[in-house]
Amino acid sequence: MIRLAGLRIRALFGFYAARIRQHPVQEMLAGAGIAVGVALVYAVMVSSASITGSAARVVEGVAGHAQLQVTARSDQGFDQRLAAEIRALDGVEDAAPLLRSNVMLVGPDGSRSTQMVGVSPTLAALGGELGPILADGDALGTGLAVSEGVAESLGVASGGSVELRADGRARMVPLSVLSPEVGGALAGSGAVVTSLRLAQRYANRDRRVSQVLVQTISGRRPAVERELERLAGGFANVTGVDAELAALRQATKPNDQSTQLFAAIGVMVGWLISFNAMLFTVAERRRFVTALRLEGASPRQPLTILGFEALLLGVLASGFGLLLGELLVRLIFDDVPDYLAFAFPVGSGRDFQPSIVVLCFLGGVLAAGLDAFYRGQAESREEIAPRTGRFLLWTALAVVAATTVVAVAVPAVTIVGGITLAVAAMLVMPVAFRFAAGWLERVTGSTSRLNMLSVALMELRGPTTRGVALTAVAAVAVYGSVAIGGARDDIVRGLDSHTRQWLSNADLWVTTGGQDLMINSFTAPDLDRLRAAEAVAAVRVHRGGFLDIGDRRLWLIGRPVDSPTMIPASQMLDGDIEQATARLRAGGWATASAAFANERGVEVGDRLRLPTPTGARSFRLAATTLNFGWIPGAVTINNRDYADAVGTVAPSALEVDLAPGTSAEAGRQAVEAALGPASGLTVQTRAEREAQYYDFGREGIARLDQIAALLLLAAALAVACALAAAAWQRRPRLAALKIQGATRTQLWRAMLCEAGVLVAIGCTVGLTLGVYGHLLAGRFVRSATGFASPFTLQADELLLAGGFVAVVALAVSAIPGWFAAGASARASFSE
């Protein structure tokens, strides 16, 4: 028989059941608030863990026991004989080569950009997931192997064939389907697996590989690493097998941070909601404790009852919150964001991480406990003293000032300011109340036309804990939406403008297709034939690829020397654009993203060393830029320098200028004709490519929009519930006023005015601090992530955020308000 403070567990459950029966709405509201907070934190943690988690699974699945890898510095790869040399090294247990290249698959039902991985039988020795297929002799030797999901999306059955576009050529190849047990995480990630030999043929990389996985004999790793450096260090990267994961994390960090910030604000709103609900019963709870003591309960018993109730509430609410969070993950945070998939081996599928579940669960229970034991110094209906209000105001101003100083001095940490400003929004409330109520009173005092507003103001004159808590919900939610939404809009606007400038260089773009940054090289088609086409005025060779330096997967851009512009003006930071452009054209100079340059301690005019497939190359820095829309950063050189450094003349895109008077469509057809039917290249007009990039850019931040909308809705509903509950509690007083001669309509109007004033105060404070937060967030974005985000205030967006909460809260609370105003006279006689 378990007892707590002498009470049986069943009795404790009984108390809680009675409590729910008495205050069902308050309990639900309290639980809902906690659930919202838990759901948001869970969804955010799971989704960021999933991206890195799934990538980790892919890497592990392929690498098996290998600890080291040698990776090529461009997609041209390196000679496969290196693999044999590595295997021969002292201390190496086993080594296996791989060829990875980005390809496109086209089937009757759809097309798909993905990565093709060519594996050799030696990979089986490393013990990865692909062992079984490799053991089966010829399974991969006939064509491509994909997962069921990929085959379905293409509309091709196992044994059929699919169009493969690689290296700028298109061909039909046989397709087989891997069952999940066989393909493992790699197939699950949507990649295409085939034999090394076939991959080399399809990708036109004869006798070349992009990666060698190395398993060392126990204890010999450092020595092997040194040997590998000696062997390959001049033209390839020698790293641990999980180097890519670090790069992935670096690339997703800002997005993670902003989502985390939003989740934090969501948690605040959630907690405020439950706090609000609890405030309704705080006085009653005190009376409850007193009454129990009279009955003979020991000092600990009432506290045990309250604590148990808090525990139950916390458990139920957290449980519900986890379910809600799971729903959020499935509905909103579901897919692998494409903007990462082309650059990293991101898988699909979820990691079940018990630690996240437990953490969120405990967090919810803790929140419930905090609520339950709030003692407060005063009754929730008692006024917050002017002195306290002033103190809070000064604290708020101090917080804002500190946040500003930090934002100016250490921009990278500004993201924390997102939370501190939200706290400031809450602290400012009591004074905002007094100010607003006082001002309104002066305005309405001498007129008789706004009398119901005057009646409402009588109730509101003093800020009470309850009133402030209610308004704080609206304020924090609106703040979050405006600050983060505003920053997001700035980013999108910056990206759009960058995209336009970037793509304005040509009328048509010829690439390998798919969502990418033009980093897939291909064998150049007959350029003379292309140039000879009547519609074509000029063709320029654009080169580009990824360069891994440290944790960064940099985008190395080789802009055609004869490009109209070398650097998009919107991306310039340090340096003179005309001079930098001239220098880039001349050669030997580069521009680099400021974050990367700062990391290397390089300023304009200094030398920047880049590890390339042909060895270390140095360039002088002509200018620093923003990040070109790619979080890890970008380095621009001219295409001749690129060919020289990377050791290939292969283009990754062709820029085509059309003859004057030629329509884009006509131009495209002419180019396609010139390329021929066997070409695997995609020809896009500038407009089409722009549209593709727009979607691409927005995708990364789409989920913020969704969270923002949900948050606003939740806050609005919570405010409505709190207003309704307050009105309901007030029925005896409303009835008394009716006896004094008020009509139902008058009372209802007064309640609406009161609700309106409360919500207006909250939304105004939220909007004001939100705009400031937006400003600071923009600063963070620019300096910490390198996105161009010109600060713009969109008045209509502001009104939408604030107005939405106000309208929903008022509309929803108007109905119970009407019923409360209809309280019968008898109600005033019950106490």
Among positions 395, 733, 760, 797, the unique one binding another protein when judged by CB under 8 A: 733
Among positions 736, 760, 775, 800, the unique one binding another protein when judged by CB under 8 A: 736
Q: How far is the CB of 430 from another protein (least distance, A)?
A: 13
The Cα diameter of the chain in Å comes to 101
Strands 615-625 and 589-593: parallel
> Using the rule CB under 8 A, is 17 a contact of another protein?
yes
> Using the rule CB under 8 A, is 739 a contact of another protein?
yes
Find the part of the chain contacting another protein (CB under 8 A) among 16-24, 155-163, 253-261, 365-373.
16-24
Which CB, 13 or 394, lies closer to another protein?
13
DSSP per position, 310-346: HHHHHHHHHHHHHHHHHHHHHHTS-SPPHHHHTTS--
Find the part of the chain contacting another protein (CB under 8 A) among 10-18, 109-117, 477-485, 559-567.
10-18
Which CB, 221 or 733, lies closer to another protein?
733
Among positions 203, 251, 426, 460, the unique one binding another protein when judged by CB under 8 A: 460
Q: How far is the CB of 245 from another protein (least distance, A)?
A: 54
From the CB of residue 471, how many other CB atoms can be counted at a distance below 10 Å? 32
Q: Locate all alpha helices (DSSP H) within 552-685, ordered by sequence.
A: 577-586, 594-600, 639-646, 664-675
Strands 236-240 and 653-658: unpaired
Which CB, 328 or 460, lies closer to another protein?
460
Please choose, from the candidates 409, 390, 408, the residue with its C-alpha nearest in 3D space to the C-alpha of residue 398: 390
Q: Locate all alpha helices (DSSP H) within 64-168, ordered by sequence.
A: 81-88, 131-135, 148-154
Three-state DSSP state, 167: coil
Element (H, E) at 29: helix 24-63
Q: How far is CA 617 from CA 133, 596, 607, 620, 648, in A?
A: 41, 16, 10, 10, 15
Within 22-81, the residues that bind another protein by CB under 8 A are: 22
Find the part of the chain contacting another protein (CB under 8 A) among 264-272, 548-556, 629-637, 732-740.
732-740
Q: Which two tokens stand for residue 540?
A: 């320029």
Q: How far is the CB of 454 from another protein (least distance, A)?
A: 5
Q: How far is the CB of 456 from another protein (least distance, A)?
A: 10
Q: Rounded to 10 degrees, what is the CA torsion of 784, 786, 789, 790?
A: 100
> Using the rule CB under 8 A, is 129 a contact of another protein?
no
- The number of residues that bind another protein (CB under 8 A) is 63
Find the part of the chain contacting another protein (CB under 8 A) among 247-255, 359-367, 375-383, 671-679.
375-383
> Using the rule CB under 8 A, is 742 a contact of another protein?
yes
Find the part of the chain contacting another protein (CB under 8 A) among 106-114, 363-371, 458-466, 560-568.
458-466
> Using the rule CB under 8 A, is 409 a contact of another protein?
no
Among positions 454, 570, 625, 662, the unique one binding another protein when judged by CB under 8 A: 454
Q: How far is the CB of 41 from another protein (least distance, A)?
A: 33
Binding mask 269-288 for another protein (x = CB under 8 A): ---------------x--xx
Residue 143 burial (CB < 10 Å; 0-12/13-18/19+)? buried
> Using the rule CB under 8 A, is 756 a contact of another protein?
no
Binding mask 301-340 for another protein (x = CB under 8 A): x---x-----------------------------------
Which CB, 406 or 736, lies closer to another protein?
736
Helix axes of 731-740 and 744-780: crossing angle, nearest 10 degrees: 130
Which CB, 181 or 831, lies closer to another protein?
831
**Cβ-proximal residues to 729 (8 Å cutoff; 6+ apart), any chain:** 280
Q: How far is CA 225 from CA 69, 86, 93, 123, in A?
A: 9, 11, 13, 20
Q: How far is the CB of 470 from another protein (least distance, A)?
A: 14
Among positions 451, 497, 515, 523, the unique one binding another protein when judged by CB under 8 A: 451
> Using the rule CB under 8 A, is 8 a contact of another protein?
yes
Q: How far is the CB of 475 from another protein (least distance, A)?
A: 20
Residue 291 burial (CB < 10 Å; 0-12/13-18/19+)? exposed
> Using the rule CB under 8 A, is 448 a contact of another protein?
yes
> Using the rule CB under 8 A, is 85 a contact of another protein?
no
Within 552-611, the residues that bind another protein by CB under 8 A are: none
From the CB of residue 61, how many other CB atoms can be counted at a distance below 10 Å? 20
Among positions 409, 446, 578, 677, the unique one binding another protein when judged by CB under 8 A: 446
Q: Rounded to 10 degrees, what is the CA torsion of 175, 180, 185, 190?
A: 40
DSSP per position, 583-596: HHHHSSEEEEEHHH
Which CB, 19 or 703, lies closer to another protein?
19
Within 466-525, the residues that bind another protein by CB under 8 A are: none
Three-state DSSP state, 445: coil
From the CB of residue 783, how many other CB atoms can be counted at a distance below 10 Å? 18
> Using the rule CB under 8 A, is 381 a contact of another protein?
yes
Among positions 101, 563, 789, 828, the unique one binding another protein when judged by CB under 8 A: 828
CA distance 550 to 459: 62
> Using the rule CB under 8 A, is 729 a contact of another protein?
no
> Using the rule CB under 8 A, is 6 a contact of another protein?
yes
Between the two ends of the chain, the Cα-to-Cα distance in Å is 40
Element (H, E) at 768: helix 744-780
Among positions 180, 234, 445, 790, the unique one binding another protein when judged by CB under 8 A: 445
Q: How far is the CB of 345 from another protein (least distance, A)?
A: 58
452-469: burial string, b at 16+ Cβ within 10 Å, e else: bbbbbbebbebbbbbbbb
Judge contact between 144 and 175, C-beta under 8 A: yes
Among positions 90, 138, 206, 295, the unique one binding another protein when judged by CB under 8 A: 295
> Using the rule CB under 8 A, is 443 a contact of another protein?
no
> Using the rule CB under 8 A, is 377 a contact of another protein?
no
Q: How far is the CB of 459 from another protein (least distance, A)?
A: 5
Among positions 93, 148, 338, 382, the unique one binding another protein when judged by CB under 8 A: 382
CA distance 201 to 169: 11
Q: Quote the Cα angle for 673-674-675, to 5°.
A: 90
Which CB, 452 or 536, lies closer to another protein?
452
Among positions 25, 49, 231, 292, the unique one binding another protein when judged by CB under 8 A: 292
Site of interaction with another protein (CB under 8 A): 3, 6-8, 10-11, 14-15, 17-19, 21-22, 284, 287-288, 291-299, 301, 305, 381-383, 441, 444-448, 451, 454-455, 458-462, 464, 732-733, 735-746, 825, 828-829, 831
